[in-house]
Amino acid sequence: MKRRILSIIMTVVVSASLLAGCGKTEAAADAAKDKTAEASAAETPEEAETSEEAETSEGAETTEAATTETEVGDEFEGEGLNEAKVVHIGFMPSSTTAQISAAKGYIDDALKEYGIEAEYTTVVTGPPAIEGLTVGDLDLTFIGNLPVFTGVSNGSPIKAIYKSPASDGGIYGIVVPDGTDIVEAKDLAGKKIAVVIGTAANAYLEILLGTVGLTLDDITIINVAPADVATVIANGEADAGVLWDPLVIKAAKAIGGSVILRPNGLTEDQMFIVGNDTFLAENPLIASVVVTGAIKADEFLMANPEESIKIITEATGDEADEWDAINHLHTTVGFAEIDYETAEQVKDFLKRNDLLQAEFDVHDILIDKYWDKALELSK
C-alpha cells in the first residue's frame, strides 16, 4: 500500500457517445411492403387489428426493457465512465475499517482486479480530509460525521457512500485526571475542556452538555490537536478533554487519569467513506469497488474481533485495551434510520452554533447506491 501526500487536482474528461442508426435498402423495403400486403389480405379486419395491437404491445415492452437495462448499466459502467487508474484515498488511523483493510489488502486487492491502484494519504482529523476532497487531492476518504456535514454546509461537493460498524457504547469519552471533581455531565459547568473544534467529539460534547441543561457557553473550550489534549490537562490548562477511541484511552493513560461519560446510546458513531462528487459521478463503479473492500474488512472485523485487535495493535504499536470498542460493534446493511437521525443531530449542532452556512437534506448526503452496487459485486 502506497502512502504519500498528494497535491494533484484531477480533471477527468468524459467522452460523449454517438449513436448511429442503420437503414434498409429500397429493395428490401419494397419486398417487405409486398409481404405485408399479402398477409393483410389474408386476415379478417378483426385478426388484423388484434395482430397489430399485439405487435405494438410487444414492441413497447421490448423497448421499455431495453431502455431500463441501458439506464441501469450506464449508471455504473457506461461509456466514458470509470477511467481513473489511481484512486487517492484518505487513510484515518482511528478507522477500524481502514486499519483492517490496510493490513489484509482488501481495498487494494479489489481495485487491482480492475487494473486500478490505490494511493493513501494519512489524515488524523476530519477538516484536512474535507479540504483534500474539496480541492481534488483526495477522491475518497475515511472520516467522521461532523466534518462531513460542516463541509456540505460550506459548499464542499461530497457524499457519504458507506458507514463502518459502530460501537455499542460509543467511541467518544471525556478524559479526566486523577483526583478530579468531574464525575457527571453537570460537573463540566464552568470547566475548561480541551477538544478539537470541528470534529465529531466537538458535537458529542455539546450533546452531552445538553442532557443536563448546559450548553457550550457554560464551559471554556480549549481548541487543541488530538495529540495535545493530554498535555494541556497535565499542565493545568484544561480540566478535561474530549476525544475518541483509541486516542481518548491513550490520553487517559498519559496523565494517569480515566475515561468517563461514554455516549451509551446518546449518539451513534459514524465513520464514513466519503467521496468527491466529481469522482463519484465519473467513476461510480470504481467507488463501489472500494466499498466492496471495506465490506470485506468489516465482515472480518465483526467475525474476528480479537484477531482484528491484534492486527491493528501490531500495525500501530497501540495496546489492546485502546481498541476494546471492537469487541462491542454493531452494523447495518445500507444507511439505517439511526444514521439519518444522527445526521440530523449533527445538523442541529451546526445550527445552534451558527455554523450552518447553507441548508441541506441529510438524505441527499448519505447515498446508498454505491453500497448497493458493492453488495451486488460481492455476490
H helix count then E strand count, the chain: 14, 13
Q: Residue 307 belongs to what H/E stretch?
A: helix 305-316
| Segment 90-134, tens digit of pLDDT | 999 999 999 999 999 999 999 999 999 999 999 998 999 999 999
What CATH number was assigned to the domain covering residues 172-260?
Answer: 3.40.190.10
Neighbour tally for 339: CB within 10 Å: 20
Neighbour tally for 94: CB within 10 Å: 20
Say yes or no: do domains 86-168+269-378 and 172-260 share a fold: yes
In order, the DSSP letters of 209-257 are HHTTT--GGGSEEEE--GGGHHHHHHTTS-SEEEEETTHHHHHHHHHT-
Backbone angles phi, psi at 278, to 5 degrees: -65, -45
Assess contact for 110 and 116: CB atoms under 8 A.
no
The whole-angstrom separation of Cα 217 and Cα 212 is: 13
| Segment 10-26, tens digit of pLDDT | 333 233 332 233 333 33
Q: Which residue is listed with cell 441501469?
A: 72
CA proximity to 274, closest of 137, 142, 155: 142
169 vs 237 pLDDT, higher one: 237
> How close are the terminal C-alpha atoms of the chain, in Å?
26
Assess contact for 145 and 283: CB atoms under 8 A.
no
Assess contact for 165 and 304: CB atoms under 8 A.
no
Q: Residue 88 belongs to what H/E stretch?
A: strand 86-91
Has residue 41 got a pLDDT over 80?
A: no
The whole-angstrom separation of Cα 1 and Cα 206 is: 38
Q: What is the pTM of this model?
A: 0.78
The whole-angstrom separation of Cα 306 and Cα 326 is: 8
Instruction: Specify the DSSP class assigned to residue 189.
Output: T
Residue range 46-59: average pLDDT? 44
Alpha carbon dihedral 108, 309, 229, 223, in 10-degree steps, equals 40
Neighbour tally for 46: CB within 10 Å: 8
Q: Residue 166 belongs to what H/E stretch?
A: strand 166-167
Backbone angles phi, psi at 119, to 5 degrees: -125, 135
Q: Which fold has domain 86-168+269-378?
A: D-Maltodextrin-Binding Protein; domain 2 (3.40.190)
* 96-104 and 284-303 helices, crossing angle to 10°: 90
| Segment 230-282, tens digit of pLDDT | 999 999 999 999 999 999 999 999 999 999 999 998 999 999 999 999 999 99
Has residue 27 got a pLDDT over 50?
A: no
**How does strand 240-244 pair with strand 166-167?**
unpaired
**Cell numbers at 119, concatenated:** 494511493
Assess contact for 149 and 350: CB atoms under 8 A.
yes
Domains of the chain, by residue range, sit at: 86-168+269-378, 172-260
| Segment 323-368, tens digit of pLDDT | 999 999 999 999 999 999 999 999 999 999 899 999 999 999 999 9
Neighbour tally for 152: CB within 10 Å: 26
Q: Residue 159 belongs to what H/E stretch?
A: strand 158-163
The whole-angstrom separation of Cα 213 and Cα 86 is: 49
